[in-house]
Amino acid sequence: MRSENIRGDETMPKQTRTSLTAAFLVTAAVMPTTAFAQEADAAVELPDGEPKAFIEGACVACHRLDYIPNARGYSEEDWRALISTMIALPGELGDSVVSYLAENFPKKPGTDPVIVPGPVDVTISEWIAPTLGSRPHDPAPSADGSIWWAGQFANRIGRVDPATGETQEFPLEIADSGPHGLIEDGEGNVWFTGNYQRYVGKLIPETGDVVDYPMPEGVSRPHTPIVDDEGTVWFTAMSGHVGRIDPATEEMKISAAPTDGAFPYGIKINSEGEPWYVDFWGNRLGSVDPQSGMITEYELPDADSRPRRIALTPDDAVWYTDFPRGYLARFDPETGETKEWLSPSGETSQPYGIATIGNIVWYVETYPRPNALVRFDTETETFQSWPIPSGGGVVRHMMATDDGKLVLACSAVNRVALVEIGN
């Protein structure tokens, strides 16, 4: 069983870090390799009913049982659609599981998104991953128009060609890698983070071979990778680090965040080649000096802010989703000022995946079912939003393509999505 909900993240054991001056040095060995919290299953007592024993046995293969009462609740039809993305339950067994779930866990009040109408048209297309319950965590666009995803629970990287709907999966050799984030480089290689097994991998799609780059001791749970214009691969690590791999020398260098208990999460490179990241364990952002590796941190005004994902507008302003507070926010690196806007579905909306296309910010509200895709015009400061057809099931990351589309990973509904934007 895995645990990467917020609680799981927060209960992760801390590691010792070096100080600011130790940028690009590797921290001392303090943690065993599988250094992430495995929470015990919360004591969940499901209501009596015919399929109860089956559910208690079969539904814990990939996650805890408390996912069921904690979910937003669904109609029979929506439970059927959701479960079919995780496990194939034929005939009567399927009917009995679905009607049991619908009866005992109906849709909870307050779980619909607030949809804001507006002038822009979008077309959202979705494709299901061949392996059920694979948890597409992050998506990445490919130069050839296809969409990559990291199937975290299935230990594979996937790809779909939106033109034909053809899918392909690349199983990873290292067992239980927990592939989390991924990015395609200029040569068509796909760099991914092996979140559970402390390595960054380079998948060569023509052969399916993977080159592994293990984390040095003291660095764990590599999170989100990104490639800069020089081809350098940068990545955040949940142990409080930002790393980089020079593809020419294959050398990996690590920078430690100055603050103890930091959790660098989403990362983007600005127009000066400087990586910026958000810190999900604090009200902090960070930037990395690409030459020295020195990390500078910036405190956000609200102590409860937990920025989860980041996007940059062409002026290098930093936009982030403040997940627990329900805000979209802009940090101005020039002035150090922050401005924020309450997301249309309110404080509990859990804004998460975010991307920019020019001066338009796009992000997803992940608490409501369905999740809502939100558009924010940074010039007029106005919102518009749309429900995601599959429900979205927590869109943890999204990216813009070079031709002005968006790719999304819809984790709990085992899909990836392409958003084409009209006028």
Can you give the binding site for ligand HEC, defined by CB under 6 A? 55, 58-59, 61-63, 67-68, 71, 82-83, 86-87, 97, 132-133, 135, 153, 369, 393-394, 411-412
Q: What is d(CA 203, CA 243) in angstroms, rounded to the nearest whole number?
A: 18
Nearest residue (beta carbon) to ligand HEC: 133
Query: How far apart are CB 349 and ligand HEC at their closest, in Å?
Result: 14
Query: How far apart are CB 224 and ligand HEC at their closest, in Å?
Result: 16
Query: How far apart are CB 245 and ligand HEC at their closest, in Å?
Result: 28
Nearer to ligand HEC, 158 or 218 (CB): 158
Token pair of 208 as six digits: 């399916």
Q: CB-side exposure of 288: number of CA atoms within 13 Å?
A: 30
Residue 373 to residues 166, 271, 277, 342, 385, Cα–Cα distance (Å): 25, 26, 22, 15, 5
Phi, psi (rounded to 5 degrees) for 227: -110, 135
Query: How far apart are CB 179 and ligand HEC at their closest, in Å?
Result: 13
Phi, psi (rounded to 5 degrees) for 52: -55, -50
Nearer to ligand HEC, 399 or 412 (CB): 412
Q: Which among 313, 216, 224 has a CA at the least distance from the CA of 265?
A: 224
Residue 227 to residues 15, 140, 269, 355, Cα–Cα distance (Å): 26, 12, 8, 16
Token pair of 182 as six digits: 């991924």
Query: How far apart are CB 4 and ligand HEC at their closest, in Å?
Result: 6
Query: How far apart are CB 252 and ligand HEC at their closest, in Å?
Result: 29
Q: What is d(CA 115, CA 344) in angstroms, rounded to the nearest whole number?
A: 7
Query: How far apart are CB 244 and ligand HEC at their closest, in Å?
Result: 28
Nearer to ligand HEC, 65 or 300 (CB): 65
Query: How far apart are CB 285 and ligand HEC at their closest, in Å?
Result: 25
Is residue 295 within 8 Å of 20, Cβ to Cβ? Answer: yes
| 233 class by beta-carbon count within 10 Å (0-12 exposed, 13-18 middle, 19+ buried) | buried
Nearer to ligand HEC, 35 or 413 (CB): 413
Nearer to ligand HEC, 255 or 350 (CB): 350
Nearer to ligand HEC, 45 or 272 (CB): 45
Residue 329 to residues 18, 167, 314, 381, Cα–Cα distance (Å): 30, 36, 16, 11
Query: What is the longest distance spanned by two Cα atoms in the chain?
Result: 63
Nearer to ligand HEC, 62 or 116 (CB): 62
Nearer to ligand HEC, 22 or 93 (CB): 93
H/E element holding 97?
A: helix 91-104
